[in-house]
Structure 1
Amino acid sequence: GTDHGYHALTYGWLLDELVRRVTGRWAGEWLAAEVAGPLGLDLWLGLPESEAGRVGRTGRVEGPEPVGGLRSRPKRSVTEAYDDPNSLTRRAFAAITPFPDQNDPAYRAAALPATNGIATADGLARFYATLIGEVDGVRLFDPATVELARAQESAGPDRVLVVGTRFGLGYMLHGTASPLLGPGSFGHPGRGGALGFADPEAGIAFGYVTNGFRKTVTADPRAQGLIRAVRAALG
């Protein structure tokens, strides 16, 4: 109860088991049947073979670390912490060792709820929109659940990400390490630079995906540039 840290992979397995016990279906099946299917979302957890030809190949791209108003540089970066085999960072992110090739069809077809969701930006944004409002007659969260989702559960120096983070019930909250649209936003960055979130006050749902993966974990400069543009458009 004194510290907190990002469960990079284990959270997905814990959540999958909860879904299985409540619904009798694994998380990917439930998502397809109850959310993505009814809403026509391009959003998959366990990619079907019929969709494989639509998915781009991912690869690493290099770029500068986030600077200027996103976060101050920690004494030790997450990359440096990952290089230490004894660190919590390495132990969390290397829970699957060796990590599979993310372009492997078998990896994409598997259901790893913390790491291999596949979506278009529109599919991701529409999913978040259903959490704070109605989309084609479907709303997933009632107002009370929205407040539970974004109520702060932990905050402070993150023992895994080695920056200060804030979390609600499964969602990352707006903060210096991963700025979202505003104080009431809730969502989550994804591995390589993706980002999805909702902001109830602004009525905005946001989705950004990329197949050009970068080392940044919490505040990819590409997504942050888009957030600043949205904020400017809203005045």
Structure 2
Amino acid sequence: MVDGLVERGFEAVRDAFAQAQAEDEGAAQLCVYRHGRVVVDLWAGQNPISGKAWDGDSLSILMSVSKGVTATCVHILIERGQLELSAPVREYWPEFAAGGKADITVAELLAHRAGLPGFDPAAEIGAQDLTDWSMCTTALASMTPLWQPGTAYYYHSITWGYLAGELIRRVSGKGVGDFLAAEIAGPLELSLWIGLPESEEPRVVPQFSRKQQPTPEQVAAVLAGMGIDVDAPLIRTLLAAVATREDGVALLNTREGHAAEVPAGNAIGNARSLARMYAATIGEVDGIRLLSPATVDRARQPQTDGLRGPAPLDILPVTHRFANGYEIEGPAHAMLGSGSFGHVGTGGRISFAHPESGVAVGYTCTNMIWDDVAGPDPRWLPWIAALQEALD
């Protein structure tokens, strides 16, 4: 069963969403804005774990879709002249210059080129420590990059949020959650938080997964079989991150995980709010526009095309394409073609804007089935194709 509404001309999007969710045991939402107006607002499914009711107003964890929310905060500050992409990070965060990082620029940090894709294993930061902002940012400020910054890129899955979030804090005087509330969620009346108030907790529907995640030992065995030195510092750092993944995902389903600020992955919201936020980055929504056209064009410029992963991971295929904090359409991330910018999230969430068509999209789900190595989530493809056809 699919509930919600679509404008005339978008009926095929509803049918495609129903088709995509037919075999999904979890719940999902899809919202689409065009030229500042809602044209699709749909939801389907239920949650077999909690039994909580699900509708268009329900909230769920957004995983790395959170990075696109945080990137929007960063670009508001860039537009105001409080941050500069070409400036070294140390200008705003002096302690960051330690460990040979004095020349890393804001742009390199935003585009996952800074060489800090995980915490140094010696820092002994476990999943529970991810709620300790000072501990995490201090560890990153003192860390030595794992490759020559700017020369390669690799997804900073957790650390990116502390890096970008600390820039926001240093420049604005607000934590990323407070900045989001004051500058984006409040003015646009969004149900979107990084650091969820306890009063909103009853609206949150937990995520779940039936997939068995590989252990660090299994990942190490696969890499060794490819001829990769698993004792290299980069690999040891990434294996340490794998070791905390299961506990980290579990943390995000707790009140403590909801209340903390983990800007790489613990934003909580719904598809309506995501689509509305992205719509306000590319045009006016009820009189509010977050970013100018010039800022949007600067934000979505490719920053990793032509680069590969750092050694010894440079033999692996490239799946992500990054702009200045946002993802752009790539092998694993179907959007609406060239010019799209946004972010995907572990398990299958996705949200993005396409300025050329005036479209902004939010899609959330509770069943974590997607693995970006295998290409786009099959739940996206039917409704993205139908949406493209409706726009043509």
Match of 2:382 in 1: 225
Unmatched 5+ stretches in structure 1: 63-77
| 3-state SS, counterpart of residue 37 of structure 1 | helix
Q: What SS is found at the alignment partner of 1:144?
A: helix
Aligned-CA RMSD value: 2.6
Q: Give aligned-pair identity as a percent.
A: 43
- Give the Cα separation in 2 of the matches to 1:89 and 1:162: 17
- The alpha-carbon deviation at position 83 of structure 1 amounts to 4.1
TM-fit CA distance, 1:40: 0.7
Q: CA deviation at 1:219?
A: 2.3
> Is 1:11 aligned to residue 146 of structure 2?
no
Corresponding residue number in structure 2 for 1:132? 282
Structure 2 counterpart of 1:208, from 363, 376, 380:
363
2:201 to 52, 72, 89: 52
Equivalent residue letter for 1:11: W
Is the 1:194–1:223 contact (alpha carbons within 8 Å) kept by the matching residues of 2?
Answer: no
Query: CA 1:57–1:189 in 2, change beyond 3 Å: closer, same or farther?
Result: same
What's the offset of the Cα at 1:102? 2.2
Q: Distance in 2 between matches of 1:82 and 1:188?
A: 29
**Distance (Å, rounded) in 2 between the aligned partners of 1:23 and 1:2:** 30
AA matched with 2:219:
D
2:184 is the alignment partner of 1:35? yes
**Contact residue 8 and residue 92 of structure 1 kept, 8 A:** no
Secondary structure of the corresponding residue to residue 168 of structure 2: helix
What CA deviation, in whole Å up to 9, does each residue of 1:44-94 have, x standing for no partner?
1111111100110110145xxxxxxxxxxxxxxx96999425446545555
**Pairing partner for 1:84 from 213, 219, 222:** 219
Give the match for residue 191 of structure 1.
346
Shift of 1:110: 0.7
Task: Give the equivalent residue in structure 2 for 1:143.
Answer: 293
CA shift at 1:153, angstroms?
A: 0.6
For 2:195 and 2:334, locate their aligned partners in 1 and report how far apart those are by CA, in whole Å.
29
Q: Does 1:111 align with 2:261?
A: yes
1:15 partner SS: helix
Larger proportion of helix: 2
Aligned length: 221
Distance 1:115 1:184, change over 3 A: same
Partner of 1:152: 302
- Larger-gyration structure (1/2): 2
Q: Give the 3-state SS of the residue equivalent to 2:321 in structure 1.
A: strand
What is the CA distance between 1:101 and its match in structure 2? 2.7
Contact 2:215 / 2:243 at 8 angstroms: preserved in 1? no
Residue 172 of structure 1 aligns with which residue? 327
Worse-superposed segment, 48-57 or 208-217: 208-217
Please, which moves more after superposition, 86-95 or 123-132?
86-95
User: What is the rounded CA distance, in whole Å, between the counterparts of 1:47 and 1:82 in structure 2?
Assistant: 35
Change (3 A) 1:93 1:41: farther
SS in structure 2 at match of 1:35: helix
Which one-letter code corresponds to 1:5 in the other structure?
A: Y
Distance 1:45 1:205 in 2: 21
Change (3 A) 1:98 1:170: same
CA contact (8 A) 1:149 1:168 kept: yes
TM-score between both structures, scaled by the size of structure 2: 0.52
Quick one: which amino acid aligns to residue 84 of structure 1? V
- Pair 223,58 (structure 1): closer, same or farther in 2 beyond 3 Å: same
* CA contact 1:157–1:165 (8 Å) conserved in 2: no
| Residue identity matched to 1:163 | V
Q: How far did residue 210 of structure 1 move?
A: 0.7
Q: Which residue in the other structure is 2:89 paired with?
A: none
> Residue 102 of structure 1: which of 243, 252, 272 is its match?
252
Contact 2:216/2:243, CA 8 A, preserved across alignment: no
Q: CA deviation at 1:141?
A: 0.8
Letter in 2 for 1:207: G
Please give the alpha-carbon distance, in whole angstroms, between the structure 2 residues aligned to 1:21 and 1:11.
15
Letter of the structure 1 residue corresponding to residue 184 of structure 2:
V
**Rounded Cα–Cα distance in structure 1 between residues aligned with 2:215 and 2:376:** 17
Aligned partners of 1:19 and 1:82: how far apart in 2? Answer: 37
